[in-house]
Structure 1
Amino acid sequence: MDLFGDLRRMNKRQLYYQVLNFAMIVSSALMIWKGLIVVTGSESPIVVVLSGSMEPAFHRGDLLFLTNFQEDPIRAGEIVVFKVEGRDIPIVHRVIKVHEKENGDIKFLTKGDNNEVDDRGLYKEGQSWLEKKDVVGRARGFLPYVGMVTIVMNDYPKFKYAVLAIMGAFVLLKRES
């Protein structure tokens, strides 16, 4: 397959059409993502489990579906995804304790099912409890191992670029029949 030869043989109208088609695919994916954010109330409605800390409930590479409706109270036993200040990657762990103050503020403590100790060592310095504002979402469903694609692409960047190049070439060279 001679990629550049095929591109040179395309007239400008065909090339413009293929680029426009690719842009429509990308913008459609973005609109679907933004729609999921609105429907689920979560800034990240889909996340991948990146470690084995939640085994046996979830394994590395499982794809989690999240919701984050603010009116729902957080309960012990729920699996939440939270962000810690100073860390880029959200953490998937179970709520083990919920603490309600007299003024109504609710704080909670998390722990990975496969971890020996709670998550206080993961929180920012001086923080002993999480608050609702730290929660990205709550697990509502999952697909086992579907997220391994994401993990492989992050662990092997050359593979990621090769897959993206092949997909881009496929879209550009796909001819309408």
Structure 2
Amino acid sequence: MFAELRRMNVRQVAFQVLNIITIVASALMIWKGLSVLTNTESPIVVVLSESMEPAFTRGDLLLLAMPKDDLVNVNDICVFKLPGREIPIVHRVIKLHDDATTSQQYLLTKGDNNSGDDRGLYDRRQMWIHREHVVGKVKGFVPYVGMVTIIMNDYPWMKFALLSVLALFVLVHRE
């Protein structure tokens, strides 16, 4: 691989670097475009646990949307992010509480495969989550596609192995 790079002149190396930058920029633009279209900060998420089985299994890729002024209903499967927690949670809404005085919607959630509701996951003494915590509602899914993400997170060395294989593939098949 390095021998191939040495044979390239500065112009060819710059062209390869620009190609990589274009690919990364295109991916970011697609992500941001999907975020705007679906009205959610994260249009896709990966299921990381078995808490939603049999509806979703670990590694399923979920497609999210959150239309403006769309209320959450009982039995909607939502992805929500709690304050102070980095990883979003995918669970089903089992109860709603609408506060007429503040026009706020409050939710109680539960994983389909869990025996109890999610109050143990919420902040201490918190009985409901706010509608603002909801990142999006699940609109569709692709089974097992997210396993690639899980493997990359569980085994960080796999990222470098995959990048090395891709770089070799590009260099070998470039001609």
Q: Counterpart in 1 of 2:142?
A: 143
Q: Which moved more, 1:67-76 or 1:39-48?
A: 67-76
Residues 5-51 of structure 1 show CA distances to partners (whole Å, capped at 9, x for unaligned) of 00001111111111111110110001000000100000000000000
Deviation at 1:170, TM superposition (A): 4.2
Matches of 1:14 and 1:173, distance apart in 2:
15
> What value does the CA root-mean-square deviation take over the aligned residues?
1.4
Q: Which moved more, 1:78-87 or 1:99-108?
A: 99-108
The 3-state SS of whatever aligns with 1:36 is: helix
Pairing 1:40–2:58 present: no
Deviation at 1:151, TM superposition (A): 0.4
Superposed counterparts of 1:1-177, under 5 Å: 3-103=1-101, 104-171=103-170, 175=174
The alignment's TM-score, normalised by the length of structure 1, stands at 0.93
Matches of 2:74 and 2:131, distance apart in 1:
13
Over 3 Å counting, the alpha-carbon distance change for 1:22 and 1:125 in structure 2 is same
Identical amino acids, percent of aligned pairs:
59
Mind listing any 5+ residue stretches in structure 2 that lack a counterpart? none
Equivalent pairs counted in the alignment come to 174
The alignment's TM-score, normalised by the length of structure 2, stands at 0.94
Mind listing any 5+ residue stretches in structure 1 that lack a counterpart? none
Is contact 1:22–1:171 with CA below 8 Å preserved after alignment?
no
Deviation at 1:169, TM superposition (A): 4.8
The 3-state SS of whatever aligns with 2:97 is: strand
The 3-state SS of whatever aligns with 2:63 is: strand
Matches of 2:172 and 2:29, distance apart in 1:
24
